[in-house]
Amino acid sequence: MDYLHPKLDDAAIARMSSLALAHVGDAVYEILVRTHLACGGSQTAKNLHSQTITLVRASAQAKAIEHILPDLTEEEETVSRHGRNAKPKTVPKSATVAEYAHATALEALFGWLYLKQRYDRINELFGRIAETF
């Protein structure tokens, strides 16, 4: 199996829970943020880490999904809505329940896009988000 570019059919992806999609999407989104920051110029490792934490926290992800929501297709909107409505067992102390729900929506969307191999769309949506950094 190619773990960097998994090839799952639509049925396999559809069987995944929204929280499973968010689990994958969390990593995808973080690598996008880390790459964006690292390629943006030379910074100290401490500064890169600090900025990454700021941009991947639930409150920032909640703002990000709100920013791109008007640009989502109907299918993408459905995936993000299912992510938002998922019921995680815990919510971090640093986030409200609403922020965490919206962050999960963003992560589910990016996980779904990644597993669907829609890399151009990931770059398009992340580019819109990165404009706000």
Residues involved in catalysis: 26
Enclosing H/E stretch for 22: helix 18-39
Residue 7 per-residue DSSP state: -
Distance of CA 16 to the CA centre of its chain: 16
Establish how many alpha carbons lie within 13 A of residue 55's alpha carbon, considering only the half-sphere containing its beta carbon. Answer: 21
Residue whose pair of structure tokens reads 């609403």 in the numeric block = 98
Residue whose pair of structure tokens reads 């559809």 in the numeric block = 14
